[in-house]
Structure 1
């Protein structure tokens, strides 16, 4: 069971974080929230997003910041259509908050440990910002420094970026936000079948699987096993740390391969390949991972070059 509103507020008090509370009716949008706290400035919008590899993100921005999903996808190295809104069922499963209550505070829940977070650099210019404390019948205001204090208390290093920037991404200009892509994938349980049969487009009855619950449970168990392997080999909180250490860099690649193998073998359409299963999986991995690994390698190369430059400069100064 996730944190409650009361538990979160108590935690903020324990951290000696100053905040103000504003109770109001349940609101589902930024516009509705502004009716009660909009005149104070610092209103925020929070997007819960998902990519094609089942990685989740919270993008938290000022209400007036324009977030272009296609541009953000490219900056993360996911391609133009790499990001989409997360499904509604992911809210209780991953963030453990009701609809309309997404904020960075949801990362306090263990189930959200693999969710990436991008914060609007505009927060730093505000005297205070407004967020729902895991429940959308209240808003609390606090400044960016106190938000940082909370995030660090749960092992998260705050990452502030210019969400309205549109840098060129190409061969010699790698995605500037690629280091913020989560390393873990999350597979949600498949919903149970409503009936033993359904109709296809022609109106004919089609027999459906009766053990969908067992299949879903097995998928979740396998996903947890993959995550456990990754947790043991990559415990760093800051994703950019993988690009400063060769061993961690290799572990990052192996983790991504492991997660992708699980996703591909879970795909029912791959079973028809029989003896060619290994070749088919290898081809799919090459197609899915080639661009991403090139981006990782470029970031690692650039990081190593930068560190070498600074080390050489420090040596000359001495």
Structure 2
């Protein structure tokens, strides 16, 4: 179960973050919110929950008057035109664990939103205070960006402020400036380079020896069958980085608990699990992507000759 608004407000108090709370009827739009929370209390915000074609999610939190061009944002993220759109309502509950009208930067406090990228409007930096919903749209809180930054850092997030109205050139010689903000929780098929890089790992001789008989075969069906068997024989845990990490942590915890007993040891094991889950998942995804890329390049370099 995710954080409640009361738990979030308690967290702000624990962090000694100065904020003001304004209770009001549930609102679904900024216009409705403005009826109950005066702009003199702070800068109102609009919050977009977006999704790209690779099932990666983003929260874009912007000033009300900031124009967010979805096509431009998509290009700046390196997703091409039309590569990003509004996320389905079902994802609000599954990832952010909030209902419609409650999207907020505070939603990244939930573990289920650990892979959701958060982009904050650079204009917030120029405001004395900013207004957001604390996971519920029947309350608004006003705080400065120092307080927001302190909260985000307390949950392991580095605040990312972006000029959302910028429209930089993106092309062959100009990389997308926001590509680093794309979450890494999905496998991205790399583009095929024109030439093989000298830093790539050379294929073992045994691999090339296995390819030759396939090249001399009359049809490519045997090669397809071998690939299918290899895929089916792989344990499902190794196809999913998160399950793979959980398996490692389960075995590590079991070993630790078998060597020592007591509540302190169990608490330590749980603490280590929480701290290592994110880092190990990120590393396993990197290894998975690298292995995928090497296999992809190997397949393009060693195509069987046509008879």
TM-score interval, normalised by the smaller of the two chains: 0.5 to 0.7
In structure 2, the CA distance between the partners of 1:169 and 1:109, relative to structure 1 (3 Å rule), is: same
Partners of 2:157 and 2:280 in 1: how far apart? 10
Judging changes above 3 Å, is the alpha-carbon distance between structure 1 residues 253 and 222 closer, same or farther for their aligned structure 2 residues? Answer: closer
Whether 1:79 and 2:123 are equivalent positions in the alignment is no
Q: Does 1:235 align with 2:269?
A: no
Q: Which residue of 1 aligns with 2:33?
A: 33
Secondary structure at the aligned position of 2:159 is classed as coil
Corresponding residue of 1:3: 3
1:225 and 2:243 are equivalent in the alignment:
yes
Which protein shows a greater Rg? 2
Q: 1:234 to 1:39 in 2, by over 3 A?
A: closer
Residue in 1 aligned with 2:56?
55
SS of 1:235's equivalent in the other structure is helix
1:57 alignment partner, SS class? strand
The answer to whether the 8 A contact 1:62-1:123 is kept is yes
Q: Is the 8 A contact 2:245 2:277 kept in 1?
A: no
**Residues 134-159 of structure 1, C-alpha deviations (whole Å, 9 max, x = no match):** 00000000000100000000000001
Distance 2:85 2:177 in 1: 19
Paired residue for 2:266? none
In structure 2, list runs of 5 or more residues that go unmatched.
Answer: 188-235, 248-274, 301-307
1:163 aligns with 2:164: yes
Q: Secondary structure at the match of 2:100?
A: coil
Change (3 A) 1:90 1:34: same
| Count of paired positions | 221
Q: Using the alignment, how far apart are the partners of 2:10 and 2:165 within structure 1?
A: 34
Change in CA separation of 1:153 and 1:53 when aligned onto 2, cut-off 3 Å: same
Relative to structure 1, the CA distance from residue 127 to residue 170 in structure 2 (aligned partners, 3 Å threshold; closer, same or farther) is same
In the alignment, is the contact (CA less than 8 A) between 1:114 and 1:185 conserved in 2? no
CA displacement 1:19-65 (0-9 Å, x = unmatched)? 00000000001111111114324000010001111110000011110
Structure 2: distance between partners of 1:162 and 1:115: 19
* Residues 1:255 and 1:104: Cα distance change in structure 2 (over 3 Å): farther
- Give me the whole-angstrom Cα distance separating, in 1, the residues matched to 2:61 and 2:161: 10
Verify the 8 A CA contact 1:73 1:83 in the aligned structure 2.
Answer: yes
Q: How far apart are 1:235 and its partner, in Å? A: 2.2
Equivalence for 1:113? 114
**Preserved CA contact (<8 Å) 1:226 1:258:** no
Question: Could you report, residue by residue, the CA deviation over 1:116-169 in whole angstroms, capped at 9, with x for unpaired residues?
Answer: 011000000000000000000000000001000000000000010100000000
In structure 2, the CA distance between the partners of 1:63 and 1:227, relative to structure 1 (3 Å rule), is farther
* Pair 258,119 (structure 1): closer, same or farther in 2 beyond 3 Å: farther
Q: Work out whether residues 48 and 86 of structure 2, in 8 Å CA contact, stay in contact via their aligned partners in 1.
A: yes
The CA deviation string for residues 261-290 of structure 1, in whole angstroms up to 9 with x for no partner, is xxxxxxxxxxxxxxxxx99xx79xxxxxxx
Q: Report the 3-state secondary structure (helix = DSSP H, G, I; strand = E; otherwise coil) of the residue aligned with 2:37.
A: helix
* Matches of 2:152 and 2:277, distance apart in 1: 23
Residue aligning to 1:19: 19
Question: Which secondary structure state, in structure 1, belongs to the residue aligned with residue 89 of structure 2?
Answer: coil
Q: What is the root-mean-square deviation in Å for CA atoms of aligned residues? A: 3.2
Q: Is the 8 A contact 2:245 2:280 kept in 1?
A: no
